[in-house]
Structure 1
Amino acid sequence: MNYFVDMNLGSAVTGIEKAQFNRMHLFQTAGMPAALVYLAYGSRLHEHLKKFGFQGVGFSMYDYFQESRQYQDVGHFDWRHYWQMTCHYQLRDVPDTYDVRVDNEDGQFLMYAHFLDKDYSQVDYINYFDHDHNKIRRDVYDSRGFLSRTSLLVENNQVNTELYYSPDQQVKMIKQCKQVDGKSVLRSVTLKNYGQRDYYFNDETELQTFFFNELAQDGDIFFSDRNGKMAPALDRTRPDIKICPVFHSTHVRVGQDIVTGALKHGIYDYILAHPERFNGIVVSTEQQRTDLLARFSNLPPITTIPVGYATAQPIDVMRRDPHRIISVARYSPEKQLMHQVKAVEALVPEFPDIQLHLLGFGNKIKNELQKYINEHSLGDYVFLRGFQKDLTNEYRQASLALMTSVEEGFSLSTVEELSYGIPVIGYDIRYGPNEMIHDGENGFLVPVNDQEQLVEKMREYLSDRELQLTFMGNAQRLVQAYSPTKTMEKWEKLVQSLNSQPK
């Protein structure tokens, strides 16, 4: 089995999760066994897996120990009927939510329940209170319908003890915490009746290492994707287990020399300091591979495999809005989206029909962008569209994409945009854009943070319809280097190589 290991999965995905999904699609198409594995507890994990089309091919470390890997959805309990008709409690609906306050017959506040649906059929959690209205307990329900975790609380809602249950309500794990400076700090983890005995761990890292050792069978490979958090646990696993970290971003701090500069803390520095335990490293670009080899002489074999792939998509360029621009990126500081907003602002007098659609998520930067848009009367030109699960319609309408990050590991959005014949104007950064954007053919490369040249290249492109059509055709032609077939061939070759390594 090939395991793609991450920490968790939410309702929206980052580039790392999207890269995993891309890889999973390739392995499924090629008939190679693979599974998504998550190390963090998440009561809604299987809801999210289903949402993204991976129901049944993913599970968490907690699923493994709670014996719920294969557990299916169950009929959800009618809590409202039970509370009212059996317990004779009084219910108070919380306006504009799916939440309910529960009082006993005497009007004493007992519980606060949060539901995930308007029919109140799927409970997310129930908080319990004492007679002084202090929260003393929280029961969390798995999205599949069973009680999954109970948190026992002390002062200031801090966790004292957590109990994790199997679907048949047997306690399978106990976490105990201590209070340090007003915060709960994990003190110990106990696995209950695992293999007919109890196991004790001091922290999550020890538990994770035990999990990897228990899960691994002969021939399995672990491709680790969130390496800063899981590398220490992987490093301590049995030496016969094959582990191959995947690098999704740069390894040196922004602005520092690639050979002598400081490594990013908590990203890949642990792996680069302990390379002897790992069987290989995957990077997305040849440039990063070259940079790593220039700095380190003791690394395991490094393989370049793009985290994304693309097939030229059917497009009708004549039906595109020639001045519609998109940007697919998280609303986060390193994406420097304000550069794009200001560039559009500078071009409004020349292109009064210009539009920039920003597709991503991140509330802090979103608020900053919206404030600027409002203050500069850009509401007719710049649109914060939020996270979109399916971008197909956006790609079919746009004539240009922008990429203004200060750094990238690859830029998945760029290869996707090119596959739809959308030229890209992007900063010439490490890593990715300069291997996908052929300057003057399918877009323009701009010196990093050169906002004046960004505007100038946008002006050149938007004002020349023939140039647009030429670039659109070139975009689809050049993206063939990132075809699914070529990418999968690289993965197959890597898997064969890892399996052939001596144990």
Structure 2
Amino acid sequence: MFDTKKHIYIMTTSLPYTYGGRTSALLQRGRLLTEKVRNINKVTLVTTNYNPDYEYIYEDYREKKSVNKKMDFLNMYNDLRWNDNHEIKNNYQSYLEKELGQSYYAIPKKGKEHITVYYKNGVPLLHTSFNTKTNRMGHVEIYASLGDKFKKRLYIDKDGNFHRIRYFNDNLKENIVRDVFIDRDYNPYITKEFVYKNGELAVDRFILFKEDHTSEVFSNEKDLMRYWFDQFLKDGNIVINDVRHLDRPLLNVTSNIKRVFQIHGPHLSEPNNLSSVTKKSFRYLFEHISNEQDIIVSLTNGQKENILEKHPHLSGKIRVVPHCISGKPAIKEKLVEPNKICIVSRLVKLKRIDQAIIAFNNLLKLKPNCVLEIYGKGEEEENLRKLVNDLGIGNSVKFRGFTNDPSKVFSTSAMFLMTSELEGFGLTVLESVFNGCPVISYDITWGPSDIINSNNGILVDNGDIEGLTKAMYTLLETPKKRKEVGEIDIKFTQGYFLKEWEKMLS
């Protein structure tokens, strides 16, 4: 019998400062389960990646109310660390004093003023690098005896403390040897050793050092994860896993736990080709899930049917529960700017924002008073800004950065464009229609077609830029009734979502 009165563990690899749909969905699930389900009084968000800034990220989540008081955090590297003394600050300064003594010269590096090289007896011993983006000290490089190659690099966290040391072999071109993770008293707790295979850096093994002076060796990070899961997961615990990277270690834990595997993205190697094979990242889950109490959750019926077509032995193991929308919609029937079009998205290649910009440029020839506002950040921003400048439409396209209030964006926009190459569901599509903002989206597998209908938007053939332009023109000429746009199907409501999750976790 699984007791939900203790608490639920929600597993993911990382929790970033700025996050997209998957993280938004798991945070919402955690809040709803602790606030609305009587028998669940605690949710722990578990991460397995290394991030020295997690304490600040946790604080940021609490301030923004991304989590509630019944939710807490657990990270693998932080948990395996020996000393978590937050009173220690700027230990890199005492290290420099010890290394350099009193007689040294600090000289800015020519052409790189953020780097200061420290000389002693006329020879460079080390340099410090100031990170101008984060406005804090980034790392210290210790030179090898020749003074022109690095022996080790010590990384500095927000509190000015060393947290990781990277060692180099200065005699080799492919010279990264190992990373050593240290606590604030310089105690090493994990070493990650590297090898080069065909010129590519690869992990050779992980070594865990314990405070009792024993150690464990793991051939890969997933084995380390499984070991760590076994340290805190007990019989009867319930785990919800949101990422495929953690499937194998979770399926191999020794305790008798209930596992719910949430699928967020397409399982197909070619997402828009229903006949393509299953992605490698999904195969371990589909081939090894066997315990009677374990469940796979899909966001759409279409995905469930395709999985069962390829893996019929999973019949009875897959449930369909879409994301839900909660809160009060901000529907405005009359817009102040009826020609404003919005995009809310990470600015990455996968989202194909360039196609939306090209389609909008074509629209301007028909509707010159339109404005496109793009909300989000990402590595493609510079390229997208260049495209806008090259097209000469800088006065009509505005980059607004990341927004913490997408509802306000949707409630004041005439329509929302989504040009993603693939989506597991498309939570922003649901958020948009909930707030009365019609959606124009490529008809991709799966997600948008589960939400968009003739009352709330237009589906365009995948990759059809001309079709995007025509759809925008249509909605501007014949606007949807925003109150009707906001009438969502019962399967997307909070009540349905909670009823289904409560059944799965019972």
Q: TM-score range by the shorter chain?
A: 0.7 to 0.9
Map of 2:4 onto structure 1: none
Q: Residues 252 and 184 from structure 1, CA distance in 2 versus in 1: closer, same or farther, beyond 3 angstroms?
A: closer
> Structure 1: which 5+ residue stretches go unaligned?
497-503
Q: Does 1:448 align with 2:457?
A: no
What is the rounded CA distance, in whole Å, between the counterparts of 1:382 and 1:348 in structure 2? 11
Tell me if the contact between 1:399 and 1:423 (Cα under 8 Å) persists in the aligned partners: yes
For residues 381-411 of structure 1, what are the alpha-carbon distances to aligned partners after superposition, in whole Å with 9 as ceiling and x for unaligned?
A: 2234343344354334312101122321010
What is the rounded CA distance, in whole Å, between the counterparts of 2:211 and 2:301 in structure 1? 45
For residues 191-221 of structure 1, what are the alpha-carbon distances to aligned partners after superposition, in whole Å with 9 as ceiling and x for unaligned?
A: 2235663222222122111111112123322
The alpha carbon displacement at 1:247 in A equals 0.8
What is the rounded CA distance, in whole Å, between the counterparts of 2:23 and 2:271 in structure 1? 27
Map of 1:44 onto structure 2: 53
Q: Residues 101 and 387 from structure 1, CA distance in 2 versus in 1: closer, same or farther, beyond 3 angstroms?
A: same
What is the rounded CA distance, in whole Å, between the counterparts of 1:334 and 1:282 in structure 2? 24
Map of 1:158 onto structure 2: 175
Q: Residues 257 and 101 from structure 1, CA distance in 2 versus in 1: closer, same or farther, beyond 3 angstroms?
A: closer
The alpha carbon displacement at 1:379 in A equals 1.3
What is the rounded CA distance, in whole Å, between the counterparts of 1:28 and 1:43 in structure 2? 28
Q: 1:340 aligns with which of 356, 359, 365?
A: 356
Q: What RMSD in Å do the two structures reach over aligned CA positions?
A: 3.3
Q: 1:225 aligns with which of 220, 235, 242?
A: 242
Tell me if the contact between 1:312 and 1:476 (Cα under 8 Å) persists in the aligned partners: no
The alpha carbon displacement at 1:425 in A equals 1.5
For residues 319-343 of structure 1, what are the alpha-carbon distances to aligned partners after superposition, in whole Å with 9 as ceiling and x for unaligned?
A: 4311111112223333232332122
Q: 1:410 aligns with which of 420, 425, 429?
A: 425
Q: Does 1:490 align with 2:500?
A: yes
Q: Residues 241 and 371 from structure 1, CA distance in 2 versus in 1: closer, same or farther, beyond 3 angstroms?
A: same
Q: Residues 29 and 114 from structure 1, CA distance in 2 versus in 1: closer, same or farther, beyond 3 angstroms?
A: farther
What aligned pairs does 1:280-299 form with structure 2 within 5 A after superposition? Answer: 280-299=295-314
The alpha carbon displacement at 1:358 in A equals 2.2
The alpha carbon displacement at 1:435 in A equals 2.0
One-letter amino acid matched to 1:487: F
Q: Secondary structure at the match of 1:477?
A: coil
What is the rounded CA distance, in whole Å, between the counterparts of 2:381 and 2:459 in structure 1? 26
What aligned pairs does 1:453-464 form with structure 2 within 5 A after superposition? Answer: 453-464=467-478
Q: Residues 291 and 187 from structure 1, CA distance in 2 versus in 1: closer, same or farther, beyond 3 angstroms?
A: closer
The alpha carbon displacement at 1:240 in A equals 1.7
Q: Secondary structure at the match of 2:290?
A: helix
Q: Residues 289 and 385 from structure 1, CA distance in 2 versus in 1: closer, same or farther, beyond 3 angstroms?
A: same
Map of 2:19 onto structure 1: 13
For residues 27-85 of structure 1, what are the alpha-carbon distances to aligned partners after superposition, in whole Å with 9 as ceiling and x for unaligned?
A: 342353212222222222332333333688223211121146x7647544583997599
Q: Secondary structure at the match of 1:57?
A: strand
What is the rounded CA distance, in whole Å, between the counterparts of 1:358 and 1:212 in structure 2? 40
The alpha carbon displacement at 1:462 in A equals 0.6
For residues 278-335 of structure 1, what are the alpha-carbon distances to aligned partners after superposition, in whole Å with 9 as ceiling and x for unaligned?
A: 8111111222223323332222622222245233323444343111111122233332
Q: Secondary structure at the match of 1:104?
A: strand
For residues 156-176 of structure 1, what are the alpha-carbon distances to aligned partners after superposition, in whole Å with 9 as ceiling and x for unaligned?
A: 473323322234433222333
What is the rounded CA distance, in whole Å, between the counterparts of 2:419 and 2:13 in structure 1? 28
Tell me if the contact between 2:155 and 2:165 (Cα under 8 Å) persists in the aligned partners: yes
**Pairs aligned (count):** 485
Q: Secondary structure at the match of 2:229?
A: helix
Map of 1:373 onto structure 2: 388
TM-score where L is the length of structure 1:
0.85
Tell me if the contact between 2:14 and 2:48 (Cα under 8 Å) persists in the aligned partners: yes
Map of 1:110 onto structure 2: 125
One-letter amino acid matched to 1:58: F
Q: Residues 255 and 167 from structure 1, CA distance in 2 versus in 1: closer, same or farther, beyond 3 angstroms?
A: closer
For residues 464-490 of structure 1, what are the alpha-carbon distances to aligned partners after superposition, in whole Å with 9 as ceiling and x for unaligned?
A: 3xx34x1x1123232665333432332
What aligned pairs does 1:18-29 form with structure 2 within 5 A after superposition? Answer: 18-29=24-35
Q: Does 1:200 align with 2:200?
A: no
What is the rounded CA distance, in whole Å, between the counterparts of 1:118 and 1:73 in structure 2? 25
TM-score where L is the length of structure 2:
0.84
One-letter amino acid matched to 2:447: G
One-letter amino acid matched to 1:290: E
The alpha carbon displacement at 1:255 in A equals 6.2
What is the rounded CA distance, in whole Å, between the counterparts of 1:7 and 1:443 in structure 2? 34
What aligned pairs does 1:267-306 form with structure 2 within 5 A after superposition? Answer: 268-276=282-290, 279-299=294-314, 301-306=317-322
What is the rounded CA distance, in whole Å, between the counterparts of 1:322 and 1:73 in structure 2? 54
One-letter amino acid matched to 1:398: S
Q: Does 1:394 align with 2:409?
A: yes
Identity %: 21
Q: Residues 217 and 99 from structure 1, CA distance in 2 versus in 1: closer, same or farther, beyond 3 angstroms?
A: farther
What is the rounded CA distance, in whole Å, between the counterparts of 2:108 and 2:354 in structure 1? 41
What is the rounded CA distance, in whole Å, between the counterparts of 1:462 and 1:73 in structure 2? 58
One-letter amino acid matched to 1:42: N
One-letter amino acid matched to 2:312: S
Map of 2:484 onto structure 1: 474
What aligned pairs does 1:50-69 form with structure 2 within 5 A after superposition? Answer: 50-53=59-62, 57-67=72-82
One-letter amino acid matched to 1:321: E
Map of 1:311 onto structure 2: 327
| Stretch moving more, 108-117 or 288-297 | 108-117
Q: Secondary structure at the match of 1:126?
A: strand
What is the rounded CA distance, in whole Å, between the counterparts of 1:58 and 1:485 in structure 2? 26
Q: Secondary structure at the match of 1:312?
A: coil
Q: Residues 412 and 207 from structure 1, CA distance in 2 versus in 1: closer, same or farther, beyond 3 angstroms?
A: same
What is the rounded CA distance, in whole Å, between the counterparts of 2:129 and 2:427 in structure 1? 36
What is the rounded CA distance, in whole Å, between the counterparts of 1:134 and 1:193 in structure 2? 32
Tell me if the contact between 1:418 and 1:475 (Cα under 8 Å) persists in the aligned partners: yes
What is the rounded CA distance, in whole Å, between the counterparts of 1:459 and 1:242 in structure 2? 50
Q: Secondary structure at the match of 1:281?
A: strand
Q: 1:250 aligns with which of 243, 255, 266?
A: 266
Q: Residues 127 and 393 from structure 1, CA distance in 2 versus in 1: closer, same or farther, beyond 3 angstroms?
A: farther
What is the rounded CA distance, in whole Å, between the counterparts of 1:71 and 1:486 in structure 2? 44
Q: Secondary structure at the match of 1:276?
A: coil
Q: Residues 119 and 387 from structure 1, CA distance in 2 versus in 1: closer, same or farther, beyond 3 angstroms?
A: closer
The alpha carbon displacement at 1:225 in A equals 1.8
Tell me if the contact between 1:160 and 1:184 (Cα under 8 Å) persists in the aligned partners: no
What is the rounded CA distance, in whole Å, between the counterparts of 2:72 and 2:425 in structure 1? 26
Q: Does 1:261 align with 2:271?
A: no
Tell me if the contact between 1:206 and 1:233 (Cα under 8 Å) persists in the aligned partners: yes
What is the rounded CA distance, in whole Å, between the counterparts of 2:459 and 2:133 in structure 1? 49
What is the rounded CA distance, in whole Å, between the counterparts of 2:133 and 2:387 in structure 1? 36
One-letter amino acid matched to 1:349: K
